[in-house]
Amino acid sequence: AGGVADGGGAPAPVASGAVRTPLRLVTAAVLAVVVTATPAAAGPEDETVGGARLGSPGVVVDRDAPPLPAGISASSFVVADLDSGTVLAAKDAHGRYAPASTLKTLTAVTLIPILEPTRKVVPVFDDINVEGSKVGLVERVGYPISELFSALMMVSGNDAANVLASAAGGQEATAALMNEKARSLHAYDTRAVNPHGLDAEGQVSSAYDLALIARAGMADPAFAAYAAMKRGSVSAPGSARIEMYTKNKLLKGYEGGLGIKNGFTSRARASFVGAAERDGRRLVVTLMRADPKVADEAIKLLDWGFAAAAVADPVGRLVDPEATAEEVVEETAVQARSAPLAGGDGRGFPVTLAGLGLAAAALLCVRHRPAPAAVRRPVPAQRSRPERVPAGRR
């Protein structure tokens, strides 16, 4: 891993304790997808998840909307309604970029439902010996899961992310769970390699996917509470406590700010996922590959979104996480060609609808519940240059 994420005796073992629900990983049934080297037939099945306009690498916004704010450096962004899912504006919504610490939103969405908040976990050295932002966890201290999630979301603790992953079965198992969760949310641009977001080959997401993940998180009261915390503390040796304070600018005086997550690495640059509520309307904004003052850009876009929501028609939508494959195809259509990685060469293999049908049927047999709308080939490894290659129609 490269870059540094911010908000951005024998080792003690991880404390025993059952995970709340079984760690059910996707099986080889997913591999039933039929991949062909010939383009799929033109039509709705070629459109982008969330709507065809979201496949554009440029800015998309309703012509009757107020002008977008100046000074938005982000290579990719999405502004959407958290409750209805309508997308008010976007730029390169499906472009794949390194997510930095915004990936921790997926870590939290994945692990909060399966880890008991009162369970205590004792870190091992490898978990706390991590680069980047840390809360300062130590060996031989038992940390409640709830404190670790607070540290994850409030101060972007990479050590907290590692300890949570160990509690869920290890980093590899947790990454598999995160990728399964992403697929269940129809976040097909996302591939997790680690739980903390430090740069890793092949680890990518998109502004659209981060909005899907944030929407799913904010539907969970526990996630919403962690995201909105301004102050907290974690255990320390003896009776001491380590005080923590939020790094999220939305929680420092912004009207209606609900918080969520910021991130930065030297490779990913600044990224941000934020939400706010005014007059009963909740908006989410996601930005990737931006300048360091990304929180100011998020505030500009949220202000714009609250002004535009009543007058602008949507340019797309965040698909519902519980939607079946058929519903997603009907609403927004499946992407027939695999999206290029930001900074990649744009080459990919289209996924046929027949293959998607086989995968969906296999998953129904394995999981006894509806499958995601599409299963892409694995996201290719991150290139050395992270600048965007237009995604367009996949």
pLDDT tens-digit series, residues 239-265: 789 999 998 999 999 999 999 999 999
Residue 315's nearest CA partner among 186, 190, 184, 208 is: 208
216-240 residue pLDDT tens: 999 999 999 999 999 999 988 887 8
CA–CA separation, 251 vs 365, rounded Å? 44
DSSP string, 196-233: S----TT-BB-HHHHHHHHHHHHTSHHHHHHHT--EEE
Q: Mean pLDDT across the stretch 134-145? A: 95
**pLDDT for 4 beyond 70:** no
**pLDDT for 314 beyond 90:** yes
Q: Indicate the DSSP class of residue 47.
A: S
CA–CA separation, 291 vs 37, rounded Å? 38
76 counts as catalytic: no
CA–CA separation, 203 vs 342, rounded Å? 11
What is the pTM for the complete model shown? 0.76
CA–CA separation, 128 vs 131, rounded Å? 9
Q: Which of 75, 150, 156, 205 is an active site residue?
A: 156
Structure tokens at 151: 């540290």
Place of tokens 């602008």: 312
CB of 335 within 8 A of CB of 38? no
> What's CA 286's distance to the chain center, in Å?
10
User: What's the pLDDT at 238?
Assistant: 83
Q: Which of 104, 134, 181, 249 is an active site residue?
A: 104
156 counts as catalytic: yes
253-301 residue pLDDT tens: 999 999 999 999 999 999 999 999 999 999 999 999 999 999 999 999 9
Lowest-pLDDT range of 121-135, 166-180, 297-311, 319-333? 319-333
104 counts as catalytic: yes
Q: Which of 56, 76, 101, 166 is an active site residue?
A: 101
Domain coordinates in residue numbering, the chain: 75-325
Q: Cβ–Cβ contacts within 10 Å for residue 184, how many? A: 18
Tell me the CATH number for domain 75-325. Answer: 3.40.710.10
Q: Mean pLDDT across the stretch 73-100? A: 98
